[in-house]
Each structure stands twice: as C-alpha cells, then as structure tokens.
Amino acid sequence: MPSLQNEESVTLYRSRRLILKEYDCAERFAAKAAEAGWPSAGELPAEPSTGTPRRSSWELASGTFVTLFQVPERRLAYVAVLSMLGREAAAHLLSLPLASLELAGLEVWTDEELIGAVSAASDPDEHAAALIRAGLGAPGEIAEPWVRAFFAAVRHPSEEVRTAGIEAIMYAGWPRFAELLRAMAKEDPSRSIRKLAKRNASVLEARAV
C-alpha cells in the first residue's frame, strides 16, 4: 500500500480543498476516519521555514487518500483528497471526508463565506488572511467572485494584501492569471513584489503548457 512518506514518488491528483473553521481538529477527524475504517497512511510534520503544512493521511480506497493539512503559523486547517486514479476520482471521493467532517461537528467554509470574508475585511492583516483562505478554497474552474477579489488584491495600497493576493492566486492555480502577474511584475511599486509576481507568473505559465 502506498504511504504518505512515498506519495511524492507518484503522481497524485488533488480534489478541491475544504477549508475548516477550526484548527485543532486532528483528533476528531482521526476518530471519524477510524470509525469509517480508513487505514492510516502516516503523518508528516509541519516545516514552518518552508511553509509546508503538517499532513495526516488515511487511505479511502486503493491509490486514493484523504489528507488533513494543518498550517500552525496561520492556525489554518484544510482537507483534500489525493488520488493516483485521476482528478475526477479525487473530486468524486471528496464526499466521503466531507460527510465525516459533518459527523465530527467540524464546519467547512462555504464559497459565500470565503469571498464574503475578503470583502468584509477591515484591516490589511484580516484582508490578507481572508485572501489566503479564499485562494486555498478556490474551485477548480475560474469563478467570477474570485476574479474580482484577486484583481482588487493586486491593486490594494497595502503591500501585505498585494503579497497575499499573489499567494492566493497561486493556491487557486489558474494559469490565466499569469497575465495579471506579468503586469504586476512590471507595474507594482515594490521591488520585492515585482520579483515575486514575475517568479510566480512563470510557474503559472508552465502549468498551462
């Protein structure tokens, strides 16, 4: 059986991420996974220096895993299905951990809540945090509310918000946003943000090939 430790040696397709409203949720989710009969596929610790989240995985079916990601420095947790069987299989099986989250009393951010929090943010810190959540929880296909949020973010007067906007765009992973990042790489008043935008535009362009 493939494990979390060797998952990087194979191609895994990811479902949409489910963003949780609670960070300290590992024990409750693990208990529901055990009740469902999903064998543990291992855990990997967080690496704050590289921004790598803590990962705990269970096998839903052969070649398909549900993984709980926890980002300690942001008190942020989310769940996704990873599958060797293709993106459609990962998306289809996402209903299983979603049901387990509901049974564990763990609430998931809805689309309306993700975007609403961006619009309602009252300061740069809150705005940046909301953008990161929205980027992580973005749908697989481009959606207009996210487009508006991302365009507004990269034009925001706060460097913190513009930087978070780039990170959110990369989490969403939509190649069409490479053009926006290219423009940002030329026009942003901050040298560090111009460099960040240029580097990430190249990443999105490579995904489109």
**Residues near 203 by beta carbon (within 8 Å), at least 6 away in sequence:** 170
Nearest partner of 188 among 200, 178, 198, 179, judged by Cα: 198
Percent of the chain with pLDDT over 90: 86
- Dihedrals phi, psi of 78, to nearest 5 degrees: -150, 160
Looking at every residue in the chain, the average pLDDT score rounds to 93
Give 139-168 pLDDT, tens digit per residue. Answer: 999 999 999 999 999 999 999 999 999 999
| Averaged pLDDT for residues 108-136 | 97
Within a 10 A sphere around the Cβ of 91, how many other Cβ atoms?
Answer: 16
What is the rounded radius of gyration, in angstroms, for the C-alpha atoms of the chain?
17
Give 42-86 pLDDT, tens digit per residue. Answer: 999 999 888 899 999 999 999 999 999 999 999 999 999 999 999
d(CA 15, CA 79): 9
**pLDDT over threshold 90, residue 208:** no
Q: What is the pLDDT of residue 49?
A: 86
**Residues near 37 by beta carbon (within 8 Å), at least 6 away in sequence:** none
Type of residue numbered 131 = L
Q: What is the pLDDT of residue 23?
A: 95
Model confidence at 12, pLDDT cuts 50, 70, 90, reads confident
Q: Could you tell me the two tokens for 120? A: 């309602």
